[in-house]
Amino acid sequence: MRSVLLRSIAIFAIVSCALAQEASHNQEPNHNMDMSGQEQSGQVTRNMSMEGSPSWLPSFHAGSGSNWQPASVPAHLWMTTRSSWDLMAHGALFLTYNQQGGPRGEGKAESVNYLMLMEQHKLGPGTLLFRQMFSAESLTSPHPGFPELFQTGETYHGQPLIDHQHPHNVFAELSMLYTVPVSEKVSWLFYGGPSAEPALGPVTYIHRESASENPAAPLSHHLQDSTHTSFGVVTTGFVIDRFKIEGSAFNGHEPDEDRWDIQLGALNSWSFRVSAAPTRNWVAEYSYGYLQRPEALEPGNERREGASLEYNRPLTNGNWATSLIWGRKRKLLDDTVQNSYLLESTLNFRKRNYAYTRLELVDKDELFPEAPTHPSFRIGAYTFGGVRDLVQNHHWQLGLGADMVFYSKPGVLDWTYGDRPVSFHVFLRLRTGLSGHRH
């Protein structure tokens, strides 16, 4: 394990140095919001970085938890100021018909949705940010959740969820973030809450710009970013120039099937993460964590490890966002390892048009929980889709979209999943409008 950790850190350092060298030759212009507080269509366009942060540094408003996305990602936000508070809101609602193919597939009308509120205020030498994220998915996709071939993770009625993605909790995040500048290039951060995200994994798929048009969770979600809702998190760290180093203590147990409450527990798990933002368009991160009894029906502990590279490129009439993610889970009870690899990209062109893809390879050892042994199967999922905005203004973006998902799998699974299953979604997507500025 130690050699793997050292190799991963070395790879991360090499990538960061290479990107930093690129930055020294090609500095992007500053597209950040100014601090003028101008009114525009009922909104206030303000600097979306924490108070005193350089314009090229990623904004904590654009990621998840204390994570970073590239500083150039577009801001789908409503913003205003009341007294000395900056108030922000964003969210998304997908109304979807979901048809999963093959003998284990099913069709279902459903809704993926979330709403995030943020309140920012100057406090002493630093800046305080409160964040609340809510989801009604327990009502819009009741038992047993969203149909999704080969998806595994969490439980319902004492049984593991197979071929379904669980709904998110009503209180998906209740957190605070406090940042204090220590010197010109160093700041200290403190983050946490009763429902929050530890420093483990990439920006969760719900908030990744590269996944913004896709209504489905990745099959690799539970190997990469499933800790984005943890009931009890304390994180601290430092931003040093273009780098961020942070560590967390958190409750490692997965949420149970009661999606309406907060199940606080001991801070029995830990993680650390190092991130780099060499330019406004690039972010890289590596993280490692130990989780105590994360699974409700499995007695063992886990170690999780992963790295990601995110790229965002603003275009004249659009945007291009891409993420490359690796995630690994090691179950300590039987010393088994599952890996996952994800490449996803979303291209917004001619303002109203979006094309997106997600390509995954992921190891699954939970497809047949009733079997006496649990072999691991390498599953591939390949998504291709598009969206066209029907309404697009400063307040709303309403789009009509569809996608298809193809799979690769071992032949031994043909008897239960079919020879060549194909799944598809048709959906309306409603979200907050573009503020007209970058983060």
Q: What is the average per-residue pLDDT within 136-160?
A: 87
Percentage of residues in the chain having pLDDT higher than 70: 87
Give the DSSP H/E element, type plus range, for residue 179.
Answer: strand 171-181
- Confidence bin at 438 (pLDDT 50/70/90): low
Q: What is the average per-residue pLDDT within 10-25?
A: 42
Closest CA to 5 of 346, 195, 290, 344: 290
- Confidence bin at 50 (pLDDT 50/70/90): low
DSSP structure class, residue 32: B
Q: In the predicted model, is pLDDT for residue 27 greater than 60?
A: no
Q: What is the average per-residue pLDDT within 62-86?
A: 93
* pLDDT tens digits along 292-341: 988 877 788 999 999 999 999 999 999 999 999 999 999 998 899 999 99
- Confidence bin at 142 (pLDDT 50/70/90): confident
* pLDDT tens digits along 189-214: 999 999 999 999 999 999 999 999 99
Q: In the predicted model, is pLDDT for residue 149 greater than 70?
A: yes
* pLDDT tens digits along 256-273: 777 788 889 999 999 999
The answer to whether 326 and 306 have CB atoms below 8 angstroms apart is yes
The answer to whether 338 and 347 have CB atoms below 8 angstroms apart is no
Q: In the predicted model, is pLDDT for residue 65 greater than 60?
A: yes
Percentage of residues in the chain having pLDDT higher than 90: 74
CA distance 426 to 401: 6
- Residues in CB range of 408: below 8 A, 6 or more apart: 379, 380, 382
Q: In the predicted model, is pLDDT for residue 9 greater than 80?
A: no
Q: What helix, strand, coil percent values describe the chain, rounded to 5? A: 10, 55, 35
